Structure 1
Amino acid sequence: MTETQNQNRPEWGIDSTHPELVEPLTEALRTIVDPEIGLNIIQLGLVRDVTIEDGNALIKMILTTPFCPYGPAMLETTRQKTEEVLGIPTHIDFRADEMWDFSYMEEGLIDDWGIY
């Protein structure tokens, strides 16, 4: 595992079906920053799954809070970036039923917040 990979990240469907796409997609998604927190969506663990089926990509994504004022923009930017990298139509499944937790963050980042 490289230094920049999120060791807390859940396994994505493309990890096994399209492993060659994981790194370029991850790097593209790292450019999407939550402006209130100052960390990107990969560091925060907001992308919960990425699958490709029937020529379409599906991203399951959460936000740090369901009422995030930047949420709609981050979801749309995630969709656009994914389409750019994968070159296929992409849909976002916003998972309001899954609450974000600090444990979703990349290892070492939570220490900087001084919470534990």
Structure 2
Amino acid sequence: MPTLPWTTPNIPPTRAEATVFASRFETRTLWGALKFFLRTPTIWRQVGRAPGAYGATLKAKPFRRTFWTLSVWESPRALKDFAASAPHGPIAASLRGQMKDAEFLTWKTTTDELPLDWKDVMRRFV
């Protein structure tokens, strides 16, 4: 699966502060990677309608069983509301047993920096 292109569900205001969320997931097995992969379109559609979502992209290396997500939000509350809502919340819970490792990062940026560059984001993962 190639990297999904940056999508902008809601046009952000200029020079506004925004919350960035990045994640890296490694599944235990290729079967777990397939399950993650098959649920991606449902979550991707949800992001496209999510209140407060300023942008999102996904990078996948399914044969390495690793996936990265990157999203930018109006506020920490908008991010939290998305993460807890269906279908994301239930799907994330159903995939927990498939995960070997997960890493989550958040930081602040300004909307003038969007879209974010994957090279800069990947440097933040250690």
TM-score (norm 2): 0.39
TM-score (norm 1): 0.41
Ranked by relative contact order (alpha carbons within 8 Å, sequence separation 6 or more), the top structure is 2
Give the strand-richer structure, 1 or 2. Answer: 2
